[in-house]
Amino acid sequence: MNASRFWGKIVIVTGGGSGIGARLAKAFDQEGAVVAVCDIRKDIADDVATNQLRNPLRPKTGYHVDVTNAEQVRYMIQDILEKYGTIDIYCSNAGIIQPYDEPKEGESGITRYSEAKWKRLIEVNALSHLIAVQELLKNWNQGRPGSKPSFIMTASAAGLLTQIGDASYGVSKAAAVSFAEHLAIEHSDRLRVLCICPQAVDTSFGEGMVQKTNNSAKKDGVISPSIVAACTLDALSSQVETDPSLFIFPHPEVATYVKRKGVDHTRWLKGMIRFKKKQEQQMMKSKL
C-alpha cells in the first residue's frame, strides 16, 4: 500500500458507516486522506469517524445525512468546504435494496413491489447522485489549480446487466450508470468520474441481494468490501486526465459480459431468459 497516493486529499464518503462505504473511508484514511464520513445512521457514521479512522485532521464525528435530502447534503458539503477549503474526492456510495422476502405465487421482479418502494429506490440509488453533483459543481465549476476533483459513484453490475428477480434495484442502478456517463461527458473539463459496478459484495446490504430469489449477482462469487475499496483507489490513482475510463469492475468477469451484450444484444437477452428459467428450476428443486 502506498500511503502517499492520497496524502492531504479531502474526501467525503456517503453511506460511510458500513459496508463498501466504511471500507472506502478506511482505505483513503490509511493512505493519508482527510475523510468525512456520512450516513443516514449517525451512530455508525460516528463509530467509523471516531474509532476507525486515524488522520488527526479528520472530522472527529460523522455527519447525519439522508442523501435524498438536498438540504442535508448541502449543509454537509458547505460545512466541509468551510473547514477544509476544498473537496477533492466525493464518494457517492449510499444505496439501498428491497428487503429480502419470498415472492408470492405469480409475482415477478417487476410486480412484487409497490410504486412507493420503486420510487424510494430510484431516489436513493439514482437521484442522490444528482443532488450531490448539483451542489458540488457550484464549487468545482469555479476552476482550481492542480488535479481535477473526482466524483466516484457506487452503482452495480445490475445497472449494466439487469438484476433477475429485482427489477427495482436493476432499474435504479441503470439510471445511476446512465447518469455517470452523462456526467463524464458533460463535465470532463472540470472533474473525473468513476462508476463502481460490482456484483455480490459481502455486506449486510449484500445479504439481501444474495438471498433474492433467482439472484444472478452471486454467479461469480461474493467479494469483500475491502476488494472493492482497493480496486477503487487503484483506479483513481492510475487514471490520468486524458484517460476516459469510467467503470470499475471489482468482478473482472463483468467487463466480458458487458462486451457480449454490446456485440449482440438479442443473443444476450435470450441468454438471460434461459438463465432465469434455469434459476427458477433450481429453486423449485431446492423446495422439494
CATH number at residue 194: 3.40.50.720
Read off the C-alpha cell for 129: 447522485
Domain assignment present for 286:
no
Supply the mean pLDDT for the chain. Answer: 89
Per-residue confidence (pLDDT) for residue 213, from 0 to 100: 44
Domain assignment present for 113:
yes
Domain assignment present for 273:
no
Q: How much is the CA Rg of the chain, to the nearest whole Å?
A: 19
Residues with Cβ within 8 Å of 63's Cβ and at least 6 positions away in sequence, in order, are: 36, 37, 38, 39, 42, 45, 76, 79
pLDDT over 80 (residue 3): no
First to last CA, the chain: 49
Per-residue confidence (pLDDT) for residue 62, from 0 to 100: 98
Name the band, by pLDDT with cuts 50, 70 and 90, for residue 104: low
Per-residue confidence (pLDDT) for residue 14, from 0 to 100: 99
Classified as helix, coil or strand, 89 is strand
The mean pLDDT value for 187-206 works out to 89
In angstroms, the Cα distances linking 95 to 168, 172, 176, 253 are 13, 10, 11, 23
Question: Which of 57-66, 96-105, 255-264 shows the lowest per-residue confidence on average (mean pLDDT)?
Answer: 96-105
In angstroms, the Cα distances linking 185 to 124, 150, 181, 266 are 23, 14, 6, 27
Domain assignment present for 278:
no
Per-residue confidence (pLDDT) for residue 212, from 0 to 100: 47
Domain assignment present for 1:
no
Condensed to tens digits (0 to 9), the pLDDT of residues 73-95 reads 999 999 999 999 999 999 999 99
Name the band, by pLDDT with cuts 50, 70 and 90, for residue 108: confident
How many domains, in total, are found in the chain? Answer: 1
Q: Which of 137, 36, 169 is nearest to 91 (CA)?
A: 36
Q: Beta partners for 34?
A: 10
62 vs 37: CA distance, rounded Å: 5
Its domain, for residue 217, covers 10-262
Question: Which of 64-68, 139-143, 278-282 shows the lowest per-residue confidence on average (mean pLDDT)?
Answer: 139-143
